[in-house]
Amino acid sequence: MTASAVTAPQSEAGRVDPRPARRPGRRGTRLELALLLTPALVLFVGFVLLPIAVAVYYSFYKWTGFSPRTPYGLGNYQRVLEDEVFRSALLHNLIIAALSVVIQLPLSIALALLLNRKIRGRAVLRLVVFAPYVLSEAITAVVWLLMLQPGGLVDQLFNAAGLGGLIQHWLADGDLVLYTLFVVITWKYIGFGVILLLAGLQSIPAELREAASTDGASPWDTTRHIVLPLLGPTIRIWIFLSVIGSLQLFDLVWIMTLGGPASASATMATYLLDHGFSRYEFGFGSAVAVVLFVVCFIFALLYQRFALRRDLRGALTGTKG
């Protein structure tokens, strides 16, 4: 079956070239395919699919590193879902995701619209805005950790602005720490949104806007009714990446607060590290990993089903569309 399916060379994925088929011999072709595909498959199955499968398997066992594995049924899952700390960690992930969409998105759109105008030094500006995105979260975390120290640069700036009364224990106050982290996340990732949206804006023909303004539309109307709808695909992709990123948030939180104080900034991933590694609860940690994965997966499927269907056709659904 596989051999007989090998057909003519083709010009485009999914469409068979009408010219006469060149048959280099089926055996040769199969060998070539094996040669080309095996390394990728081994790597992908071995280090992506297998670990996920193994996590599912381990999650049904009670296993703490040194002790032997004993079957535990759904016990680990019950423990995860009933643990207040995990629930609040999940809530923190969701808060960060929601804040990203509500605050970062409008901010990115506004900045992209501004930067899309013809202003002096636009190229340099783009570089500057985008720079934090290429720094690692580790560097970002250390820099902001130092700036947010009591009496540090941030406090000094508040004092200089006459707002000294508003100074807080930015990272030590359990009610505030999550929002402080959100500000740092925004600093690091806002440039990414701006650059994506700028690219989206530049693909909108200038004629469209000119036509609208000739017809008497105000700049606001043009933006609202022409530019934003055309940015739709870019915005939907940004939301997707941003929410998935928020659900997996780890590096920044781990370095700045270790999820503290008292789990006030814990995320699913810091919870996973805390239990899976720091306490060697491999079975329980695997269950946490599976839950984290399922949460991302459900979001991805739902989002793809209801929001991304049109935009991603050809990327996630094959090239047949």
Select 46 or 73, whichever has its Cβ closest to other proteins: 46
Residues 6+ away with beta carbon under 8 Å from 165: none
Stretch that binds other proteins, among 66-74, 82-90, 91-99, 307-315 (CB under 8 A): 307-315
Select 263 or 282, whichever has its Cβ closest to other proteins: 282
Binding status of residue 210 toward other proteins by CB under 8 A: no
Spatial distance between the Cα atoms of 23 and 9, rounded to a whole number of angstroms: 9
Interface residue with other proteins, options 94, 296, 307, 309 (CB under 8 A): 296
Binding status of residue 241 toward other proteins by CB under 8 A: yes
Question: The tokens 């790597």 sit on which residue?
Answer: 43
Residue window 163-202: x/- pattern of binding to other proteins, with contact defined by CB under 8 A: ------------------------x---xx--xx--xx--
CA distance readout (Å), 312 to 168, 245, 285, 306: 44, 18, 33, 12
- The residue type at 67: S
- The residue type at 193: G
Binding status of residue 95 toward other proteins by CB under 8 A: no
State the nearest-atom distance from the C-beta of 115 to other proteins, in Å: 8
State the nearest-atom distance from the C-beta of 26 to other proteins, in Å: 10
Q: By the 8 A CB rule, do 167 and 157 touch?
A: no
Binding status of residue 2 toward other proteins by CB under 8 A: yes
State the nearest-atom distance from the C-beta of 246 to other proteins, in Å: 12
Spatial distance between the Cα atoms of 311 and 243, rounded to a whole number of angstroms: 17
* 189: exposed, middle or buried (Cβ count in 10 Å: 0-12, 13-18, 19+): buried
Residues 35-54 that bind other proteins (CB under 8 A): 35-37, 39-41, 43-44, 46-52, 54
Binding status of residue 255 toward other proteins by CB under 8 A: yes
Select 161 or 175, whichever has its Cβ closest to other proteins: 161
C-beta neighbour count of 231 within 10 angstroms: 21
Binding status of residue 269 toward other proteins by CB under 8 A: yes
Residues 124-153 that bind other proteins (CB under 8 A): 125-132, 134-139, 141-147, 151-153
Q: By the 8 A CB rule, do 45 and 37 touch?
A: no
Q: Which helix (H) or strand (E) holds 247?
A: helix 228-247
